[in-house]
Amino acid sequence: MTTVAEQRNADIDALLNKARSLAEPSAVSRENLEDIKNDLIAIADKSEYWAEDQFPAPTDGKVHTRYLLSQDDDDSYALYLNVMHTGKKAPPHNHTTWACIAAVEGEEYNYLYDTVDDGPLLPGDREITLSETIVVKPGQGVALLPDDIHSIAINDGESTRHLHFYGRGLETLDKRLMWDKELKSCKYFVMDVKTTRDKAK
């Protein structure tokens, strides 16, 4: 009899294989990225894959645990499960690789931004403005190209469980940018959460 972990891993493998056929680690069309996002939403809908007994929520006052579910040997095509409590926030940032987010449970507010001026994204003065708010919840996700800028917040409710899928592993993305509270300038992003590897994979 196939276990839940085996079923989950088989579906993850299928997701990764399709993503590899549609996207390079740092390049993808908006249309293909929508296909990847929809596949991620479908696997997120299988809530038995992502249960508390498999992936415990953070405790001792922590608001975020990140589980690495799969990543290629060259650090590409990295899939994570984020378990977050109310109060978790991330400042506006880009990724330098594509990203898709889908919800198992709970609501994650994604705020999308436009740059005021054109040109490459580099540290320094670079104003951005809020352009759209997307609530990632069961059945609804978000897809981001490498230069897209967003911030996230868990504003209310209980713990959230969301899948985050990137063209490259987060730990390798050393040119990501994050913006200040005034949305006027940016600097290189420093991660503040250590990733936990899923031993069941």
pLDDT for the residue 158: 72
Nearest to 143 by CA among 48, 12, 13, 29: 29
Residue 114 near residue 193, CB atoms below 8 Å = no
141 φ, ψ to 5°? -130, -170
| 1 pLDDT tier (thresholds 50, 70, 90) | low
Q: Has residue 6 got a pLDDT over 60? A: yes
Compute the half-sphere exposure of residue 137: CA atoms within 13 Å on the CB side of its CA. 11
Give the tokens for residue 99: 């990203």
Give the tokens for residue 156: 């209310």
Characterise 8 by phi-psi region: left (phi > 0), alpha (psi -120 to 50), beta (else).
alpha
Q: Has residue 149 got a pLDDT over 50? A: yes
Distance CA 114, CA 175 (A): 19
Q: What is the pTM of this model?
A: 0.93
Of all residues in the chain, the percent with pLDDT exceeding 70 is 98
pLDDT for the residue 157: 73
Strand partners, 190: none
Task: Map tokens 């868990």 to a residue.
Answer: 154
pLDDT for the residue 159: 81
pLDDT for the residue 156: 77
Distance CA 183, CA 117 (A): 13
